[in-house]
């Protein structure tokens, strides 16, 4: 037993569930949390404590969930914030409620959870927080603009918090997976939702339509292994095995496709800078340009 206590939000499926199993195998304690957390009997049979929590709840409700874990284990050392879903469809077809709900769950909830987690960890002078971004934190595309907006926000926020609290002994990182073979893209699940007006006829044959079909085709054929990915995340958050001797990273990028896509985005960005640099710098004040 290491004495680590993991509070894993979003433990009902995907990375959250795989991480819970990985951590339990290592002998750590796990609090498995989701909207229907008490239904996760398979994790309970492995030794996890189960909690129900809607991530959009008020501070008192979230703090009470933290306290329930602390009452049982005496502390929380690691917080994993992995709630969220994909809002799929053209931006034109998303209602105001669609957009708000997506940002509320995918971004505002993560920000609020992180705030309360820092408030708990800072007086203790140690701890870990991992928020889930995505390879979509790096580039936009048709049919998933709201998801991209959310994941860019989570990565940017987490990068800022990483710099803000490391002097207090708190290690914060953002996990940015590529395409992993989880239930995330299953149409019958809770992680993939359609905009209110999909405008299928209007967008037939467009890039939005092609993206829809591509998501269906890639589902259950994604290259990433969630078990391997979860082991890497846990290694990083414990400084062990694959992460032993390495500096704690500001982001954990997972999957060959993720690395390739990020490098491609960097190359496109460098090309854009070079093409427009003379115009970009021409906007400085004259006294700055002459300096």
CATH number, domain with residue 33: 3.40.50.720
Say how many CA atoms lie within 13 Å of 16 toward its Cβ: 27
Task: Return d(Cα 138, Cα 133) in angstroms, integer.
Answer: 10
Q: Which of 202, 234, 279, 246 is nearest to 6 (CA)?
A: 234
pLDDT at 27: 96
Kindly state whether residues 134 and 9 are assigned to the same domain.
yes
pLDDT at 223: 73
Domain count, the chain: 2
pLDDT at 264: 96
Helical H runs in 134-255? 145-165, 207-218, 226-238
Q: Which of 262, 9, 78, 230 is nearest to 155 (CA)?
A: 262
Stretches in the chain below the pLDDT threshold 50: 1
Kindly state whether residues 71 and 140 are assigned to the same domain.
yes
Kindly state whether residues 188 and 132 are assigned to the same domain.
yes
pLDDT at 186: 60
Kindly state whether residues 109 and 64 are assigned to the same domain.
yes
Kindly state whether residues 238 and 107 are assigned to the same domain.
yes
| 3-class DSSP string for 2-20 | CCCEEEEECCCCHHHHHHH
Kindly state whether residues 14 and 150 are assigned to the same domain.
yes
Kindly state whether residues 268 and 212 are assigned to the same domain.
no
Kindly state whether residues 54 and 131 are assigned to the same domain.
yes
Kindly state whether residues 109 and 10 are assigned to the same domain.
yes
Residue 207, C-beta contacts closer than 8 angstroms, at least 6 positions apart = 142, 143
Task: Return d(Cα 228, Cα 222) in angstroms, integer.
Answer: 13
Kindly state whether residues 27 and 162 are assigned to the same domain.
yes
Kindly state whether residues 46 and 60 are assigned to the same domain.
yes
Kindly state whether residues 92 and 203 are assigned to the same domain.
yes
Check: CB of residue 262 under 8 Å from CB of residue 253. Answer: yes
The boundaries of the domain holding residue 142 are: 5-254
């Amino acid at each position: 037993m290491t004495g680590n206590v993991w509070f894993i939000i979003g433990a009902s499926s995907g990375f959250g569930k795989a991480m819970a199993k990985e951590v339990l195998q290592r002998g750590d304690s796990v609090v498995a949390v989701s909207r229907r957390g008490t239904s996760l009997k398979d994790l309970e049979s492995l030794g996890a404590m189960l909690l129900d929590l809607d991530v959009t709840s008020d501070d008192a409700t979230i703090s009470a969930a933290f306290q329930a874990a602390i009452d049982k284990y005496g502390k929380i050392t690691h917080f994993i914030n992995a709630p969220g879903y994909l809002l799929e469809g053209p931006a034109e077809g998303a209602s105001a409620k669609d957009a708000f709900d997506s940002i509320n769950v995918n971004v505002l909830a993560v920000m609020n959870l992180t705030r309360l987690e820092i408030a708990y960890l800072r007086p203790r002078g140690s701890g870990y927080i991992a928020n889930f971004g995505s390879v979509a934190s790096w580039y936009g595309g048709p049919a998933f603009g709201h998801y991209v907006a959310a994941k860019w926000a989570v990565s940017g926020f987490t990068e800022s918090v990483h710099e803000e609290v490391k002097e207090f002994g708190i290690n914060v990182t953002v996990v940015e997976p590529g395409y992993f073979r989880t239930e995330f893209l299953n149409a019958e699940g809770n992680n993939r939702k359609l905009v209110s007006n999909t405008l299928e006829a209007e967008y037939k044959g467009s890039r939005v339509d092609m993206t829809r079909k591509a998501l269906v085709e890639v589902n259950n054929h994604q290259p990433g292994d969630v078990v391997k990915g979860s082991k890497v995340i846990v290694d990083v958050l414990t400084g062990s095995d694959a992460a032993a001797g390495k500096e704690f990273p500001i982001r954990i990028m997972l999957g060959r496709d993720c690395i390739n896509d990020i490098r491609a985005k960097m190359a496109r960005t460098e090309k854009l800078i070079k093409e427009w640099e003379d115009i970009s710098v021409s906007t400085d004040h004259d006294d700055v340009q002459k300096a």
